[in-house]
């Protein structure tokens, strides 16, 4: 038996960040930037108006006020999209729209609201300090600026900035392509009612969805029969297009545990008992020329999900160049007693909610942990109802009401009822 930490350490030491590729900006959403981006483009690229109004020379309005309005001839109209350089002569103004380039010589903008809105001549009833409502070239981003550092994850706002400075393709760490293979003679495809002795491949869908929820790319292979030759050829066929493989089922002590039978002698695969509940039978290693990491998870649904959270998700994040702090543990107060297995780390399905106060009081955290229901490793009902796993150390055999427990979030924290 090895510890959870030992198994995880072996995984984390083995998997590597994927090599960078070039992607079109939108295709790079969710990926991590592989190289710093230094801009050759300034933002704004040209001096422009921040308001709809009139581009003026501030000096021409030095004496303007409500009681002493100034009338200026309107020498032209400048709309956004105007690409000719214009010049404003002293004593004149130009009508200008938001985002339109400022004419040479103009140094301020009077918002249309402070004028009579005239088209050939305009009456202005306010002063305009130099620089008013003018966006200076480069005030946001200057040429030569480091606009984004390697390691930044690209979301909508980061994509906008890169697009604005003229980026077409970016070098990113790609999203891992993860093949999910379910094994078991009992498995049938989702969407059909299981007959006697049949089980829907819910793990296949769960793990596919989990890969997707982690913003990686899942490839699902449904119900492979418990037959060594079939399983061997399935995994061999999938390895070339995979950055990682997850299998479920066939790794425990049964007579038809094909995954273990086929993989225990290949690559660097190793099968261990890990001191955890649920999720004890685990296998991990690399296979094929590309040394693809392969995670063989147990078949029991809760064991599979807990194994994904504890072992696979950190590895996929690492491959994608993402920080591990994405999953912080939350401390909560147990609302009641429950038993924990001796010598194994427990991952108890719980409902985590805000305390009725919703606030920390003294050293009490603001969250409460309540067992979500039946804790068997087959129980999907409580797995779906839970929003966290309470992580109880191996040497703890009972949790008491009022104890502080560390919780791994699976979903949003529930509000106090």
Residues that bind Mg ion (CB under 5 A): 184, 249-250, 299
Write out the two tokens for 142.
């200057």
Q: Could you tell me the smallest distance in angstroms from the CB atom of residue 257 to Mg ion?
A: 7
Q: Could you tell me the smallest distance in angstroms from the CB atom of residue 384 to Mg ion?
A: 22
Q: Which of 295, 187, 299 is nearest to 242 (CA)?
A: 295
Partner whose footprint covers residue 331, from ligand AMP, Mg ion, none (CB < 5 to 8 Å by kind): none
Nearer to ligand AMP, 299 or 321 (CB): 299
Q: Could you tell me the smallest distance in angstroms from the CB atom of residue 9 to Mg ion?
A: 28
Site for ligand AMP in 246-265 (CB under 6 A): 248-250, 252, 254
Nearer to ligand AMP, 103 or 218 (CB): 218
227 binds ligand AMP (CB under 6 A): no
Residue nearest to ligand AMP (CB): 299
The answer to whether the CB of 272 falls within 8 A of the CB of 7 is yes
- Three-state DSSP class for 213? helix
CA distance 228 to 294: 17
Site for ligand AMP in 187-216 (CB under 6 A): 187, 199, 201-204
Binding-site size for ligand AMP (CB under 6 A) equals 18
Extract the runs of DSSP E, i.e. beta strands, from 274-383: 276-277, 281-287, 292-297, 329-334, 338-339, 345-354, 367-371
Site for ligand AMP in 272-331 (CB under 6 A): 298-301
Q: Could you tell me the smallest distance in angstroms from the CB atom of residue 297 to ligand AMP?
A: 9
Angle at alpha carbon of residue 189, lines to 187 and 191, rounded to 5° = 130
Nearer to Mg ion, 185 or 272 (CB): 185
Partner whose footprint covers residue 346, from ligand AMP, Mg ion, none (CB < 5 to 8 Å by kind): none
Partner whose footprint covers residue 298, from Mg ion, ligand AMP, none (CB < 5 to 8 Å by kind): ligand AMP
Nearer to ligand AMP, 49 or 203 (CB): 203
The phi, psi pair for 55, rounded to 5°, reads -80, 125
Nearer to Mg ion, 49 or 248 (CB): 248
Q: Could you tell me the smallest distance in angstroms from the CB atom of residue 240 to Mg ion?
A: 26
Nearer to ligand AMP, 306 or 320 (CB): 306
Partner whose footprint covers residue 158, from ligand AMP, Mg ion, none (CB < 5 to 8 Å by kind): none
The phi, psi pair for 40, rounded to 5°, reads -105, 5
**Helix or strand (DSSP H, E) at 10:** helix 4-14
CA distance 227 to 325: 40
Long-range contacts at 238-243 (CB < 8 A, ≥ 24 apart): 238/179, 238/181, 239/287, 239/288, 239/290, 239/292, 240/288, 240/290, 241/177, 241/179, 242/177, 242/178, 242/179, 242/292, 243/18, 243/174, 243/176, 243/177, 243/178, 243/292, 243/293, 243/319
Nearer to ligand AMP, 60 or 226 (CB): 226
| Beta-bridge partner residues of 285 | 294
- Three-state DSSP class for 158? helix
Q: Could you tell me the smallest distance in angstroms from the CB atom of residue 234 to Mg ion?
A: 15
The answer to whether the CB of 372 falls within 8 A of the CB of 386 is yes
Write out the two tokens for 411.
């979903």
Q: Could you tell me the smallest distance in angstroms from the CB atom of residue 304 to ligand AMP?
A: 7
Q: Could you tell me the smallest distance in angstroms from the CB atom of residue 256 to ligand AMP?
A: 8
List residues binding ligand AMP (CB under 6 A). 182, 184, 186-187, 199, 201-204, 248-250, 252, 254, 298-301
């Amino acid at each position: 038996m090895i510890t959870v930490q030992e198994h995880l350490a072996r995984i984390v030491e083995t998997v590597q960040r994927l090599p960078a590729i070039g992607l079109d900006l939108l295709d790079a959403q969710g990926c991590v930037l592989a190289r710093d981006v230094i801009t050759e483009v300034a933002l704004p690229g040209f001096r422009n108006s921040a308001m709809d109004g009139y581009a003026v020379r501030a000096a021409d309005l030095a004496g303007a006020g409500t009681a002493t309005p100034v009338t200026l001839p309107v020498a032209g109209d400048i709309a956004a999209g105007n690409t000719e350089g214009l010049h404003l002569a002293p004593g004149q103004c130009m009508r200008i729209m938001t985002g339109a380039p400022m004419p040479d010589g103009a140094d301020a903008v009077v918002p249309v609201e402070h004028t009579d809105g005239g088209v050939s001549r305009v009456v202005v009833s306010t002063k305009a300090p130099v620089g008013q409502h003018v966006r200076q070239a480069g005030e946001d981003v200057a040429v030569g600026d480091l606009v984004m550092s390697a390691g930044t994850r690209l979301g909508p706002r980061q994509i906008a900035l890169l697009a604005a400075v003229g980026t077409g393709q970016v070098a990113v760490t790609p999203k891992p392509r993860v093949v999910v293979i379910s094994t078991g003679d009992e498995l049938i495809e989702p969407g059909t009612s299981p007959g006697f002795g049949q089980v829907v491949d819910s793990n296949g869908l769960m793990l596919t969805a989990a890969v997707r929820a982690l913003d990686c790319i899942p490839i699902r292979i449904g119900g492979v029969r418990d037959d060594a030759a079939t399983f061997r050829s399935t995994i061999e066929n999938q390895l070339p297009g995979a950055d990682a493989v997850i299998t479920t089922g066939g790794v425990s002590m049964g007579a038809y545990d094909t995954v273990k039978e086929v993989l225990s002698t290949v690559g660097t695969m190793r099968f261990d008992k890990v001191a955890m509940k649920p999720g004890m039978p685990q296998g991990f290693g690399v296979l094929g020329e590309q040394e693809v990491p392969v995670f063989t998870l147990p078949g029991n649904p809760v064991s599979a999900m807990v194994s994904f959270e504890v072992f696979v998700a950190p590895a996929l994040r690492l491959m994608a160049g993402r920080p591990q702090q994405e999953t912080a543990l939350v401390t909560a107060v147990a609302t009641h007693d429950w038993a924990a297995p001796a010598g194994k780390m427990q991952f108890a399905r719980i409902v985590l909610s805000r305390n009725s106060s919703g606030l920390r009081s003294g050293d009490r955290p603001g969250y409460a942990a309540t067992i979500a229901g039946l804790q068997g490793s087959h129980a999907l009902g409580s797995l779906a109802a839970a929003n966290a796993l309470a992580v109880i150390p191996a040497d703890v055999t009972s949790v008491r009401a009022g104890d502080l427990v560390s919780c791994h979030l699976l979903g949003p924290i529930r509000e106090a009822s």
